[in-house]
Amino acid sequence: MENFADLVVPRFLRYVQIWTTSDKRSEETPSTGGQWELARLLAKELNELGAVDAEVTSHCYVLAKIPASPGLENKPAIGLMAHLDTASDVSGKDVKPVVTKNDAGETVIRSDGTTLLGADDKAGIAEIMAAAEYLLSPKLPAEIKHGPALIIFSPDEETGKGLPCFPMERINTLAGGTENALTACYTLDGGPLGELEIECFNAIEARVFFSGRAIHLGAARGELANACLMAAAFAVMLPRSESPEATDGCYGYYCPAAISGSLENAELEVLIRDFDLDRAKERAAALEVFARAVEAQFPGGKVRVECKFQYYNMKDNIDRRPEVLSKLEEAARRAGIACTLKPIRGGTDGSRLTELGIPTPNIFTGGRNFHSLDEWVSVPEMEAACRLTVELVRVWGE
């Protein structure tokens, strides 16, 4: 396994140059056409590697199977998952990756500073593809035996809109033909070397609608209820001490994420995140209190709050299946990687997949500074993620 850099780096450099930024305003899955381009390329490459039944589904999921070593066909099937899209926080178009050295002499890959890099999550894709190339190689040493593994590349993870179209029936067929045939899944969508994640936020998206009363500004005294100002007043009521920039670790937050409107109508998007479900619900209830306070400040104005859960903390469901984590930790030990458990201050497709009954921990990819112009990824840590992935498939085959 000494040459994983030769397998993973060229793939990563190729994938990041495909524009796959997702669009949360779109109701389609996938939300952008570039995801189709990457999906079709990956399916083609998987077919060339010798994966079984490589395909792109009608909603842009890439599926393929790494068959088990002879005699291990009945071992539990696991999934290896990463997502096709990149975030829209900064531009993901015309990415120009730069291979360089950091101050410690470690080989890293950055963008040229005008776009994000796309390590979230094309590093995960490249690492899974490199592991697949190794396991599917006709030169694989005979003593390296492994169970079956499914490769799953999903669209629109960054918008949270891909999982409703998750092809569970097709995946069950590939995994063994029975309901819940996939025993466990692992997302490669994490950060620095050694970080494993089995806990994530509970996530609520709130949309707050402001109905004002418009009138000619020259006659506004005592009559105007400015919906734009109502939205701004609501936003500043959100506690600054409970914002993303003021919290870390296991502390939750409110985040005003988007605002738009006019004198007559305005809208505010508020993201609520908390590891504790009851506390997340309390935050949602607090928005109603803020709404009534704004109405009191703006006679004639109305405020309506709509909340929906986006995903739940996956920890309880993963804890019910301790072997899912213990096998991952054993694979890390064999790969010579010291690992730590860290809560995700966010969520992955694994959060939603765990809700569907398939426990899905998250594995590091070596990336840093996701969703920013300063994003980069460590090549040695990408190699480590490849080694861990190979060992994980082997451990499940025992």
Residue 134 has pLDDT above 60, yes or no: yes
| 299-342 per-position pLDDT tens digit | 999 999 999 999 999 999 999 999 999 999 999 999 999 999 99
> What percent of the chain has a predicted confidence (pLDDT) above 90?
91
What does the alpha-carbon distance between residue 295 and residue 184 come to, in Å, rounded to a whole number?
A: 49
Q: In the structure, how many helices (H) and strands (E) does the chain have?
A: 10, 16
**Has 330 been annotated as catalytic?**
no
| Percent of the chain's residues with pLDDT above 70 | 99
What confidence category does residue 109 fall into, taking pLDDT thresholds of 50, 70 and 90? very high
DSSP for 217-271, written as a single string: GGG-TTT-B-HHHHHHHHHHHS-GGGSGGG--TT--EEEEEEEEE-SSEEEEEEE
The pLDDT, as a whole number, for residue 343 is 93
Distances (CA, A) of 172 to 5, 128, 327: 33, 20, 22
pLDDT at 111: 94
Given a contact cutoff of 8 angstroms between Cβ atoms, the answer to whether 199 and 374 are in contact is: no
| Domain extent listing, the chain | 4-199+313-396, 202-311
Mean pLDDT of the chain: 95
Residue whose pair of structure tokens reads 């690492």 in the numeric block: 127
As a whole number, mean pLDDT of residues 46-61 equals: 97
Residue 299 φ then ψ, to 5°: -55, 135
Q: Which two tokens stand for residue 107?
A: 């080989």
Three-state DSSP class for residue 33: coil
pLDDT of residue 176: 84
What residues does 196 pair with on adjacent strands?
341, 363
Do the domains 202-311 and 4-199+313-396 match in fold? Answer: no
The model's pTM: 0.91
Question: 1 pLDDT exceeds 80?
Answer: no
Q: Is 202-311 in CATH node 3.30.70.360?
A: yes
Start-to-end CA distance of the chain, whole Å, equals: 20
**54-87 pLDDT, tens per residue?**
999 999 999 999 999 999 999 999 999 999 999 9
Q: Is 375 a catalytic residue?
A: no
Instruction: Tell me what the mean pLDDT of segment 342-352 comes to.
Output: 89
Which tokens hold the place of 332?
């890390």
Is 210 in contact with 267 (CB distance < 8 Å)?
A: yes
How far does Cα 86 stand from its chain's mean position?
A: 9
What confidence score (pLDDT) does residue 24 get?
87
CA 293 to chain centre: 36
The beta strands (E) that lie in the chain are given as 52-56, 62-66, 77-83, 98-101, 107-110, 149-154, 182-188, 195-197, 202-211, 253-261, 265-274, 302-311, 340-341, 362-363, 367-368, 376-378
Do 54 and 64 touch, CB atoms closer than 8 A? yes
Residue from 45, 85, 133, 391 carrying the catalytic annotation: 85
pLDDT of 235:
98
Residue 19: pLDDT over 90: yes
Q: Stretch 18-45: mean pLDDT, rounded?
A: 96
CATH 3.90.76.10 fits 4-199+313-396, yes or no: no
Residue 2 has pLDDT above 80, yes or no: no
Q: What is the mean pLDDT of residues 89-115?
A: 96
Q: pLDDT for 268-293, tens place per residue?
A: 999 999 999 999 999 999 999 999 99
Mean pLDDT of 354-378: 96
Contact 182, 110 (CB under 8 A): no
Please write the tens of the pLDDT for every residue from 229-278.
999 999 999 999 999 999 999 999 999 999 999 999 999 999 999 999 99
From residue 115, give the alpha-carbon distance in Å to each of 87, 88, 111, 157, 395: 11, 10, 6, 19, 38
Catalytic residue from among 121, 127, 133, 157: 157
Please identify which residue in the block is written with the tokens 């894709």.
125
* Mean pLDDT calculated for residue range 184-210: 97
Q: What is the mean pLDDT of residues 349-372?
A: 94
